[in-house]
Amino acid sequence: MSFNLDLLLRENIKNLQAYSSARDEFDGEASVMLDANENAYGSPISQSFNRYPDPLQHAVKQKLSKIKGIAPEHIFLGNGSDEAIDLLFRAFCQPGLDNVILLPPTYGMYEVSANINDVAVRKVNLTPDYQLDIEAIAAAVDGNTKMIFICSPNNPTGNSIRRQDIETVLVNFDGLVVLDEAYINYAKQTSFLADLKEFPNLVVLQTLSKAWGLAALRLGMAFAHPNIIRVFNKIKPPYNINQATQNFALEALENVEVVNEWIRESVAERTLLVERLQDIPQIEHITPSDANFVLVRLERARELYKYLVQQGIIVRDRSTVTLCEGALRMTIGTPKENQILLTKIKEFYT
Ligand SMILES: *Cc1c(COP(=O)(O)O)cnc(C)c1O
């Protein structure tokens, strides 16, 4: 393999003179800060937000580094994973020329981001058991293919992609492999974070939006070789993670135990929900899930979806998505919510 980040980068990004903020030029301790045109008098609320936040979020990365067992220079923080996805397109894909490979059925944001950036999408469907079609992926790659997006555990199917297959793609593809691990906390399969050293073309995405219970905070993480992280830092908006988010993230990261307990409970509830769904004759197939949701193929999916909406229960209708025909995606709720869901599904079929 001949991975070369310089060849992958867009010419304008390589030559870019990045914006240098006041906080970039002086980030030490001082008693009189008159360099950033901030309001020196304070903020009109109980907390103080009058100073610009740390553009590189050193404190948050320090704490994440301990939790994840990975050095801070391997970490980028974005306004949700969605920001990292968008920055990847902007850094590496020449609009109207380059292409990326997506593996449907998968997370919809990759395609939207590609379209926004005018980057061609080559779709290689997953196999019927939602694994990688390695040969078809290899056949779809050409000289302008910059990235392959793999989501594991995959949304909306919930299953993990076989580790061996992900490694095969990493080893044989000269572009970036973006591995979205948004649901990794719920998985039996281990994260690829520990393998970053081995694969210079690997970008692992994680988020505080799911297991960490902070979807509204908007904090996504990208882990990669420091050379890739430097590219993110060069092109991101200077203050992309606001001070409130940094403060709350620091507080949240002190509470790993609570989060781990929720993960255990969600996984137990997932097992229970699957067992009870399997007792319903109209349920045709439940994809084994490594995430906090299950994809369920069942009779009259669209009608059931509408019935549940009438009952005030919202699941995700995936019944018209390729390879998910006739299926609904159900997030694991609290024990009480899951019980209500089951009762209403049974009610619909009787
Ligand atoms: C929910 C989800 C995310 C999270 O995106 P954020 O922007 O961090 O909230 C990322 N990837 C997948 C596959 C998801 O399902």
* Ligand 1 center–CA 112 separation, angstroms: 13
pLDDT per position as a tens digit, 64-89 = 999 999 999 999 999 999 999 999 99
- 322 pLDDT higher than 90: yes
Mean pLDDT computed over 297-322? 98
**CB neighbours (10 Å) of residue 27?**
13
pLDDT over 90 percentage in the chain: 95
- Lay out the sheet containing 293-298: strands in order across: 283-286, 293-298, 327-331, 316-317
Q: How confident is the model at residue 1 (pLDDT cuts 50, 70, 90)?
A: low
* Ligand 1 center–CA 81 separation, angstroms: 6
**CB neighbours (10 Å) of residue 316?**
17
pLDDT per position as a tens digit, 142-168 = 999 999 999 999 999 999 999 999 999
Pocket probe for ligand 1: among 107, 150, 316, the residue whose CB has the most ligand atoms within 8 Å is 107
pLDDT confidence of residue 22: 86
pLDDT confidence of residue 29: 86
309: which 2 tokens?
Answer: 């909406």
Mean pLDDT computed over 234-246? 97
pLDDT per position as a tens digit, 107-124 = 999 999 999 999 999 999
pLDDT per position as a tens digit, 8-55 = 999 999 999 988 888 888 888 889 999 999 999 999 999 999 999 999
**Mean residue pLDDT across the chain:** 97
Helix (H, G, I), strand (E, B) or coil at 311: coil
- Check pocket membership of 81 for ligand 1, CB cut-off 6 A: yes
Quote the DSSP letter at residue 216. G
pTM over 0.95: yes
Question: Which has the closest alpha carbon to 111: 98, 123, 96?
Answer: 123
CATH code matching the domain that covers 5-254, chosen among 3.30.1950.10, 3.40.50.2300, 3.40.640.10, 3.40.630.10:
3.40.640.10
pLDDT confidence of residue 25: 87
Mean pLDDT computed over 263-272? 98
Cis peptide before 237 (omega within 30 of 0): no
221: which 2 tokens?
Answer: 């993480």
Mean pLDDT computed over 268-280? 98
Q: What is the C-alpha to C-alpha distance for residues 207 and 80, in angstroms, rounded to an integer? A: 7
Terminal-residue alpha carbon distance, the chain: 58
- Check pocket membership of 213 for ligand 1, CB cut-off 6 A: no
Pocket probe for ligand 1: among 159, 209, 331, the residue whose CB has the most ligand atoms within 8 Å is 209
pLDDT confidence of residue 106: 98
- Check pocket membership of 180 for ligand 1, CB cut-off 6 A: yes
- Listed in order, the ranges of the chain carrying CATH 3.40.640.10 are 5-254
Q: What is the C-alpha to C-alpha distance for residues 85 and 90, in angstroms, rounded to an integer? A: 9
Q: What is the C-alpha to C-alpha distance for residues 305 and 63, in angstroms, rounded to an integer? A: 42
* Ligand 1 center–CA 328 separation, angstroms: 19
Q: How confident is the model at residue 239 (pLDDT cuts 50, 70, 90)?
A: very high
Mean pLDDT computed over 123-132? 98
pLDDT per position as a tens digit, 177-207 = 999 999 999 999 999 999 999 999 999 999 9
Q: What is the C-alpha to C-alpha distance for residues 79 and 108, in angstroms, rounded to an integer? A: 17
- 2 pLDDT higher than 60: yes
- The type of residue at 87 is L
- Listed in order, the ranges of the chain carrying CATH 3.90.1150.10 are 257-349
Backbone angles phi, psi at 193, to 5 degrees: -55, -40
Pocket probe for ligand 1: among 81, 186, 332, the residue whose CB has the most ligand atoms within 8 Å is 81
Bin 33: left if φ > 0, else alpha if -120 < ψ < 50, else beta. beta
CATH code matching the domain that covers 257-349, chosen among 3.30.470.20, 3.90.1150.10, 3.30.300.30, 3.40.50.880:
3.90.1150.10
The protein residue whose alpha carbon is closest to atom 14 in ligand 1 is 182
